[in-house]
Chain A
Amino acid sequence: MDFFNNNILSIITFWPLVGMLVLLLIPKGSTTLIKWWANLVALSGFFVSLPLWFSFNFDDPQMQKVVNVPWIQSLGANYHVGVDGISLLLVMLTTLIGPLAVLSSWDAIQVRVKEYYAFMLLLQAGMLGVFISLDFFMFYVFWEVMLVPMYFLIGVWGGPRKLYAAIKFFLYTLVGSVLMLLGILALYFQYPSIAAMHPEISAQFGALPTFDVLALHAVGPYLPFNLQFWVFLAFFVGFAIKVPMFPFHTWLPDAHVEAPTAGSVILAAVLLKMGTYGFLRFSIPILPAATVYFVPMMITLAIIAIIYGALVAMMQPDMKKLVAYSSVSHMGFVMLGMFALNPQGLNGSIIQQINHGISTGALFLIVGIIYERRHTREIAQLGGLSNVMPAYAVVFLIMTMSSIGLPLLNGFIGEFTIMAGALQKNLWWAVAGGAGIVLGAAYMLWLYQRTMFGKLDNPANQHLKDMNWREWATLIPLIIMAFWIGLYPAPFFRALDKPVNKLVSIVQAASPAGAPQAAREIR
């Protein structure tokens, strides 16, 4: 049991990988066995991750469950894993979404079943690895590894323009990540000179170049501004493409529309969070001075994304594309809260990441359900579906409300906290955010009205079956989560309390005006 407890992060991460290797041994003809096995692996992956939540010490600001063993000694790269409250939430989100995505593919994937599930499990392992890595080299390996399965998921099982979407996704992300690699290298080589000046750092982390994220956190405040400036830009490209922030968002609608349902769910719920996680884990704490310097740019891009994403979403004739653009808008919110750089903003930003995973993931599942029945996602083809699919309409309604931030549901908590954070900094940021919320309500309600209400005049929709037990099973956990966060978000905020305060204090120390800045900027 001790072994399990000490290595729980590695076990969570490599569990799907082991499951994948076993899956490769199953003959490709026995598709039922393959499906059962993949579901079993993914679901047990979730249960394996539960002890992490229960054994996590919410009052400890340090990294927990740390394992640090040498890997490539000549480079100073270690196998270093650990979680704090931020990564804990994202790991739990990943292990929750993974099995739901796998389950949702049961009927949707009919060809090349074995490879599909193999890639799904590989993807799951890659994403988890990103969130637990505390070594930059290892982080980069996982970050790149998960590109390949996602590329195949879109490229093989995607829609009509799948090849285009898949390669766009791959190349966009790759360009970002190789530039990020240069930033990582610049930090790696800068570390020794800073550590030499600060004996307390070199005593703890050594004097040699290192990829240790904690060591880089320690030298962060002392890094020269010029270096911070360029490294921030390098990281920005890598992470902003992933988020995606305006103007790097163009790959997202293509990838979402072409990807199979499960691919979209994973993409929206987890993959995009890798970008925001990158900002939280690396850009802000390692490069605090540059972070403060770039706030205006980041906020501007975030606000553009909020408004632009919402406006474009409103005009979409395709349900999936609408949800995809709503992602751009919602991720703009996440970035707005994050770069408010105060406790409310950061808390709200992280909660909103989880919320976005839940509600957008659920919306993609909902779109997938109708697509499986009608083989179209065109809004004009639908209408009045609540007459034939009442249960479906209820679930859709809950998730629509969650997405637009109705109180009692999760979206409200996130948006409210972000707005509170933004308002503390600048009234206009909050106004822009508020406009985004209004627009968000408009396009989502309009979508709901056009598809669910009205007369059922399209004969093709007359005999649609309501949700089956499997579809319920994919959505109920998300509905529970939406209500849980909406009604009792305290445990989540508690998990975030310590790491967020740490981030805020790092940034405040680097602000030119020092601590009282937050108060000063309210107009």
Chain B
Amino acid sequence: MDQFFKASDLSVIGAELELALFGMIVLVLDLLFKNKRVLAYFSLAGIGWSGFLLLRLYNKVDEGAYGGALTLDPFAWFFKALFLVAAALAVAISIRYLDIERENHGEYYALILFATMGMMFMVGAMDLVTLYIGLETMAIATYILVGFLRSNPRSNEASLKYFLLGAFSSGILLYGFSLLYGIAGSTRFVIIRDALEQRSLSDPLSLMALAAVCAGMFFKIAAVPFHQWTPDAYEGAPTSITAYMSVAVKAASFAMIVRLFMIALFSLRPHWLIIMSVVSALTMTIGNIAAITQSNVKRLLAYSSISHAGYILLGLIAANQTGLIAIPIYLLVYTFTNLGAWAIIVALRRKDVIGEHIDEMSGLFFRHPVAAILMLIFLLSLAGIPPTAGFIGKYFLFAAVIETGHNVLAVIAVINAAISMYFYLRIVVAMFMQDATEKTGLDLAPGVLAVMAVAFVFTMWIGLYPDPFIAMARRAVGL
């Protein structure tokens, strides 16, 4: 084994260290500043600086930092950048929202920074223990954030549910990890891969490990049948955190899944291929069908995010060049599009108006035409209608499954894409085809406007000219 620590390894995690540092400073500054907006700006600066450090690492590829426990490959780099973007956008939509909820505290921003740091470790991990520590850093910070609206019982309930089920699933995952350690005698992904290759495919111990890891992972990405926590957690959480969870936590979990299944568990692919195909089909279908009946916008988008997880699994099922490119592309697209949509949901929350019911969006076009049109574009993108970014994401996934001959799955996926249009159109109908009520309206804070603008630009840019982004995704998966 390599030397466990070299001084040069520190530079590999520079961006993460900097985020942790800023998080702690935010906690201290919280005591000094009455105006919590300053903390938000400070956190944004921290994220920006972290992004700058990351940018300097663009060409530095270090496969074996910390004796091989962490890596800084293009894959990790891509996702770290994605997390920072998502974190920045999430902070930007939070500022006014937290004021309205009267819960603007410094810890909020610090926790977002810590969660982001945890994700960055997750995606760089090449070792089960490092992976798990990153995962729990992210998860614990998110449990607290979900329950951040202390005086709101729904938020408390959501947090408790998420925490209990999350802890339970982490336990199962950890059990799987321990079995893998037992098989390989090491926690390094590459060694586990070699050890699993030595064993027969029907080895019960490997199968048990696979089952436990799958269950834990499916919980994290909210795949059926481990999706039950999602609607409650997404509905109860502060909307800005829902937005953050639906993109960043999801992206981090998928990055982790890709690493684990494409490296450590790759020799078990015949088994997990079947599991994932079934789970993917169920997740898409159940997520979409459940979304149809929702009239709470947060719940509706929660179910839609479940179905999106099902789509993304298609990339892993195909596991060829197109499929692997599809995962980062889709997550990138989803980050911008979904944050754009959530920014508008966040803006629905005003003083005295909860702004979660679909009726509260009725006639939005007459009050805020530009915002309604942007929301339309984001919804079309979520449904995968060209020329928006969502189509490019779906294109890659569908192409991957067709290319690898999973034709039945492809048909299920596209039919689901059509079904999803139905409930996205419900929001469109409310916004454009119903009359405005006294509750209709948006609180368009500067942060929300900025996020909407950024999301719009990227949604259309990726939709009309995706080449640079495809190149980024290609580089990320090493092609």
Give chain A's interface residues, CB within 8 Å of chain B: 71-75, 140-141, 144-145, 147-148, 151-152, 155-156, 162-163, 167, 170-171, 174-175, 178-179, 181-182, 185-186, 188-189, 230
Instruction: Please state if A175 and B429 are interface contacts (CB–CB under 8 Å).
Output: no
Name which residue of chain B comes closest to A183, CB basis. Answer: B402
Contact code string B410-451 (vs A, CB < 8 Å = 1, else 0): 110011011001100100010011000000000000000000
Per the bound structure, the CA–CA distance linking A170 and B415 in Å amounts to 13
Known interface pairs A72-B466, A167-B422; A148-B380 also in contact (CB < 8 Å): yes
Instruction: Please state if A179 and B411 are interface contacts (CB–CB under 8 Å).
Output: yes
Instruction: Please state if B465 and A72 are interface contacts (CB–CB under 8 Å).
Output: yes
Per the bound structure, the CA–CA distance linking A144 and B414 in Å amounts to 14
Interface centre among A145, A178, A189 (most CB of B within 10 A): A178
Q: When A and B form their complex, which 9 residue pairs have the shortest distance between CB atoms, in order from nearest?
A: A178-B414, A141-B386, A185-B402, A175-B418, A74-B470, A174-B418, A189-B403, A144-B386, A185-B399
- B385 contacts which of A72, A147, A171, A230 (Cβ < 8 Å)? A147
Per the bound structure, the CA–CA distance linking A194 and B422 in Å amounts to 39
Instruction: Please state if A156 and B414 are interface contacts (CB–CB under 8 Å).
Output: no
Which residues of the other chain, B, contact A156 by a CB distance below 8 angstroms? 432-433
A-B CB contacts (within 8 Å), total count? 75
Taking chain B's interface residues, is the majority helix, strand, or loop, or is none over half, making it mixed? helix
Per the bound structure, the CA–CA distance linking A151 and B429 in Å amounts to 10
Q: Is B474 part of the binding interface, using a Cβ–Cβ cutoff of 8 Å?
A: yes
- A141-B391, A156-B433 known, 4 other contacts, Cβ within 8 Å: A144-B391, A148-B385, A171-B422, A182-B414
Q: Is B467 part of the binding interface, using a Cβ–Cβ cutoff of 8 Å?
A: yes
Which residues of the other chain, B, contact A140 by a CB distance below 8 angstroms? 386
Q: Determine how close the nearest CB of chain A comes to the CB of B51; give it in whole angstroms.
A: 25
Known interface pairs A175-B415, A179-B414; A72-B422 also in contact (CB < 8 Å): no
Known interface pairs A140-B386, A175-B415, A178-B417; A185-B433 also in contact (CB < 8 Å): no
Which residues of the other chain, A, contact B457 by a CB distance below 8 angstroms? none
Per the bound structure, the CA–CA distance linking A182 and B399 in Å amounts to 8
Q: Determine how close the nearest CB of chain B comes to the CB of A165; give it in whole angstroms.
A: 12
Q: Is B387 part of the binding interface, using a Cβ–Cβ cutoff of 8 Å?
A: yes
Instruction: Please state if A171 and B418 are interface contacts (CB–CB under 8 Å).
Output: yes
- A163 contacts which of B433, B466, B470 (Cβ < 8 Å)? B433
Known interface pairs A145-B386, A156-B433, A170-B425; A181-B467 also in contact (CB < 8 Å): no
Which residues of the other chain, B, contact A174 by a CB distance below 8 angstroms? 417-418, 421
Which residues of the other chain, B, contact A167 by a CB distance below 8 angstroms? 422, 425, 429
Instruction: Please state if A178 and B418 are interface contacts (CB–CB under 8 Å).
Output: yes
Which residues of the other chain, A, contact B380 by a CB distance below 8 angstroms? 148
Instruction: Please state if B467 and A74 are interface contacts (CB–CB under 8 Å).
Output: yes
Per the bound structure, the CA–CA distance linking A174 and B467 in Å amounts to 26
Per the bound structure, the CA–CA distance linking A181 and B395 in Å amounts to 9
- A141 contacts which of B387, B399, B407 (Cβ < 8 Å)? B387
Q: Determine how close the nearest CB of chain A comes to the CB of B370; give it in whole angstroms.
A: 11
Instruction: Please state if B429 and A155 are interface contacts (CB–CB under 8 Å).
Output: yes
Give chain B's interface residues, CB within 8 Å of chain A: 380, 385-387, 391, 395, 398-399, 402-403, 407, 410-411, 414-415, 417-418, 421-422, 425, 429, 432-433, 465-467, 470-471, 474
Instruction: Please state if A74 and B474 are interface contacts (CB–CB under 8 Å).
Output: yes
Instruction: Please state if B386 and A182 are interface contacts (CB–CB under 8 Å).
Output: no
Instruction: Please state if B387 and A182 are interface contacts (CB–CB under 8 Å).
Output: no
Instruction: Please state if B398 and A170 are interface contacts (CB–CB under 8 Å).
Output: no
Which residues of the other chain, B, contact A72 by a CB distance below 8 angstroms? 465-467, 470
Which residues of the other chain, B, contact A185 by a CB distance below 8 angstroms? 398-399, 402-403
Per the bound structure, the CA–CA distance linking A147 and B407 in Å amounts to 26
Give 26 A-B contacts (CB < 8 Å), ordered by A residue.
A72-B465, A74-B466, A74-B470, A74-B471, A74-B474, A75-B395, A75-B470, A147-B385, A148-B380, A151-B425, A152-B432, A163-B433, A167-B422, A167-B425, A167-B429, A178-B414, A178-B417, A178-B418, A181-B414, A182-B402, A182-B407, A182-B410, A182-B414, A185-B403, A188-B399, A189-B399
Instruction: Please state if B422 and A155 are interface contacts (CB–CB under 8 Å).
Output: no
Which residues of the other chain, B, contact A188 by a CB distance below 8 angstroms? 399
Per the bound structure, the CA–CA distance linking A185 and B395 in Å amounts to 9
Instruction: Please state if A163 and B429 are interface contacts (CB–CB under 8 Å).
Output: yes
Per the bound structure, the CA–CA distance linking A174 and B417 in Å amounts to 9
Per the bound structure, the CA–CA distance linking A155 and B365 in Å amounts to 14
Instruction: Please state if A171 and B421 are interface contacts (CB–CB under 8 Å).
Output: yes
- B402 contacts which of A152, A162, A189 (Cβ < 8 Å)? A189
Which residues of the other chain, B, contact A141 by a CB distance below 8 angstroms? 386-387, 391
Instruction: Please state if B422 and A145 are interface contacts (CB–CB under 8 Å).
Output: no
Name which residue of chain B comes closest to A180, CB basis. Answer: B414
Q: Determine how close the nearest CB of chain B comes to the CB of A387; give it in whole angstroms.
A: 40
- A145 contacts which of B387, B402, B403 (Cβ < 8 Å)? B387
Which residues of the other chain, A, contact B474 by a CB distance below 8 angstroms? 74
Q: Determine how close the nearest CB of chain A comes to the CB of B368; give it in whole angstroms.
A: 14
Which residues of the other chain, A, contact B395 by a CB distance below 8 angstroms? 75, 181
Name which residue of chain B comes closest to A143, CB basis. Answer: B386
Q: Determine how close the nearest CB of chain A comes to the CB of B122; give it in whole angstroms.
A: 28
Instruction: Please state if B429 and A144 are interface contacts (CB–CB under 8 Å).
Output: no
Name which residue of chain B comes closest to A230, CB basis. Answer: B407
Name which residue of chain A comes closest to B402, CB basis. Answer: A185
Name which residue of chain A comes closest to B463, CB basis. Answer: A141
Q: Determine how close the nearest CB of chain B comes to the CB of A13; give it in whole angstroms.
A: 14
Per the bound structure, the CA–CA distance linking A283 and B403 in Å amounts to 21
Which residues of the other chain, B, contact A74 by a CB distance below 8 angstroms? 466-467, 470-471, 474
Instruction: Please state if B418 and A144 are interface contacts (CB–CB under 8 Å).
Output: no
Which residues of the other chain, A, contact B402 by a CB distance below 8 angstroms? 182, 185-186, 189
Per the bound structure, the CA–CA distance linking A84 and B373 in Å amounts to 37
Instruction: Please state if B385 and A144 are interface contacts (CB–CB under 8 Å).
Output: yes
Which residues of the other chain, B, contact A75 by a CB distance below 8 angstroms? 395, 470
Per the bound structure, the CA–CA distance linking A170 and B424 in Å amounts to 12
Which residues of the other chain, A, contact B415 by a CB distance below 8 angstroms? 175, 178-179
Per the bound structure, the CA–CA distance linking A210 and B414 in Å amounts to 21
Which residues of the other chain, A, contact B410 by a CB distance below 8 angstroms? 182
Which residues of the other chain, B, contact A178 by a CB distance below 8 angstroms? 414-415, 417-418
Name which residue of chain B comes closest to A182, CB basis. Answer: B410
Instruction: Please state if A182 and B418 are interface contacts (CB–CB under 8 Å).
Output: no
- A170 contacts which of B391, B411, B421, B470 (Cβ < 8 Å)? B421
Per the bound structure, the CA–CA distance linking A175 and B16 in Å amounts to 45
Per the bound structure, the CA–CA distance linking A75 and B463 in Å amounts to 13
Which residues of the other chain, A, contact B398 by a CB distance below 8 angstroms? 181-182, 185
Instruction: Please state if A182 and B411 are interface contacts (CB–CB under 8 Å).
Output: yes
